[in-house]
Amino acid sequence: MSQDPAIRIRDLTKTFGGERRLFGRRSHAVEALRAVSLDLRRGETLAVVGESGSGKSTLARILVGLETPGGGAVEIAGEDAARLRRKGPRAFGKTVQYVFQDPVASLNPRKTIGEILSAPLRLLCGYDRARRETRLRELMQAVDMPEATLSRYPHELSGGQAQRMAIARALAAEADILVLDEPVSALDVSVQAQVLLLLQRLKRELNLSYLFISHDLAVVEAIADRVAVMHFGEVVELEETRTLFATPVHPYTEGLLASAPRLKRA
C-alpha cells in the first residue's frame, strides 16, 4: 500500500460534446484530455501548469470524481477510481479532496462556516456531535483562524480567510490526497504568500500529497517538487522542479518561462 503512488493516471482521455443530436448531426467535440499519464507520489507536491484550455481543470475534476473519465485508467491510493466511484461519493471523498479556485463561490452563502465544515465530519467521518465540535476547533487551529469564525457567513470573510475555510473543509474529510485547483490565484500577493505557507506546513504536519494546479510559474517553483506542463490536453513535459526551470526541454515550456513577467529584468 505504501509503495503505491497516491494517484496513478494512465492514458486518461476525456472528450466533451460529440453526442448525436435529435436530427442526426453530431455536436462539436472538444478533446480536453488526450492520453494523459501521471504519477503523484506519496508526500510530494506535483504541480500541473498550463494555460486556459489546456485541460488541467478537467483533470482535477476527474480525479475527485466530479467528472467521469472518457478512457484510460485512474488509481487513487492503490484503488481503481471506477470501483471507488461505484462505492459512492463517500468512499471517494474519504480518499481525495478538492480545493476550489474561487473560495467564496465554493462556500454556500446561506450557511455558516460551522455548518459547512460539519457536513464532511458527519457524512464522511461519521463523527457524533461531541467529536465534531472538537474536530471543528482543531481544524480552525490548523488553518490559523479564531473559533468565532465558525459562526460567520462566507460573505463576511476576506478572500484569504475564505480560502483557509475551503482548505479546512478539505482537511475535515481526513483524506491525505488533496487536489488544489488554482488555490491562490484569486488572492492578493501578501495573502497568497500566507496561504502557500499554510499549505506547506499542513503538508508536513499531516503528511499530505498535493496535486497543485496553477498557471503561475513563480508560485509553482516555490512550492512544487515536480512539475507537469500541459498543453492542449497533453502532458508535454514532466520533470523535477529545479531541472525544469533550469533546462526546459519542450519549446512550449520555454515559451511559458520566457513570457512570465519578472520584477528584475536581466
- Considering only residues 24 to 53 of the shown chain, the ones binding another protein according to CB under 8 A are 51-52
Integer angstrom CA distances of residue 10 from 75, 79, 81, 226: 9, 13, 12, 18
Smallest distance from another protein to CB 2, Å:
25
CA–CA separation, 265 vs 204, rounded Å?
34
Smallest distance from another protein to CB 78, Å:
20
Considering only residues 89-128, where is the footprint of another protein by CB under 8 A? 89-90, 92-93, 97-98, 100, 102, 105-111, 119-120, 123-124
Binding-site member from 142, 173, 180, 208 for another protein (CB under 8 A): 173
Binding-site member from 5, 55, 65, 183 for another protein (CB under 8 A): 65
CA–CA separation, 97 vs 204, rounded Å?
17
Local structure of residue 163 (DSSP, 8 states): H
Smallest distance from another protein to CB 95, Å:
11
Place of cell 510530494: 44
SS3 content of the chain, % helix, strand, coil (to 5): 40, 25, 35
CA dihedral 236, 182, 2, 9 (to 10 degrees): -40
User: Measured from the CB atom, is 42 or 152 closer to another protein?
Assistant: 152
CA–CA separation, 226 vs 189, rounded Å?
23
Binding-site member from 66, 82, 206, 249 for another protein (CB under 8 A): 66
Smallest distance from another protein to CB 9, Å:
19
User: Measured from the CB atom, is 76 or 256 closer to another protein?
Assistant: 256
Under the criterion CB under 8 A, does residue 68 sit at the interface with another protein?
no
* Whole-angstrom Cα Rg for the chain: 19
Site string for another protein, 229-248 (x = CB under 8 A): ------------xx--x---
